[in-house]
Amino acid sequence: MEIKSLKKVRRVRYSSIAQDDYTQRPQIKAPRKQQGYPDTLSYSNRRLYYEGQEIGELIRDTAMNNPQLLSPLANELEAFRKNSLKRRKKRTFWSRKEKGEFSDDDLGVIFSLCDAYIARISEFIKQRYDATTDGLSVLFDENNQLILNGMNIHAFLENCHDNLNEKSCIFLKGIRARLERVLNNKSNSRNFDRIQDVVLELFTEIDALLAKTPKTD
């Protein structure tokens, strides 16, 4: 084995070693957050849909079963209304083709629908708040019958006509007292005129039933 002198050992400069060109490597960029509209909302045939369900139907179902979801839905409607302007059809100076999705007529319908639905949600939320604060929940079913705290007052009165007894009269007096509270507490409600007309008719019917109550010695 031949031992070479240290002077004869080849010197290698650091600069001559092949280095990785890091500038040529693909740059991985974080995806930009898209400033778009909620994907759950869509517009078609002059109607708004939430995940395929018409918004009007969704509001009714949500108000009855999941009222806590009404406020987030109103926020999404407001965001959709604002971002729809970004999707307005327009024609560039150098192109004859229109870019965008919504025409001016579509935008008018979208704005009207969003405003109407947000107002309806606000009314439902106010009703929920009033029911929480004063303990009285007043609704009307599809037959315009009054639902007080989940009880159909008209149906109960019909039952009293067929089976009037001392126990039912006690309930009638309690219902009348609650209806009086409804008139006092719902005076600022948007539907107060409707509520007042129905309650006054119920007063007349309840008083007539109480007058028929057989008095016990």
Q: Give 56-94 pLDDT, tens digit per residue.
A: 898 888 877 777 788 888 999 999 988 888 888 765 555
Question: For tokens 């108000």, what's the residue?
Answer: 63
Predicted pLDDT of residue 31: 41
pTM of model > 0.85: no
Domains of the chain, residue spans: 41-134, 138-211
pLDDT of 149 above 70: yes
Predicted pLDDT of residue 37: 42
Task: Give 132's pLDDT tier (boundaries 50, 70, 90).
Answer: low
The pLDDT value given to residue 28? 45
Span 34-46, pLDDT tens digits: 444 446 888 888 8
- pLDDT, mean over the chain: 76
Integer angstrom CA distances of residue 206 from 25, 32, 46, 158: 85, 66, 46, 11
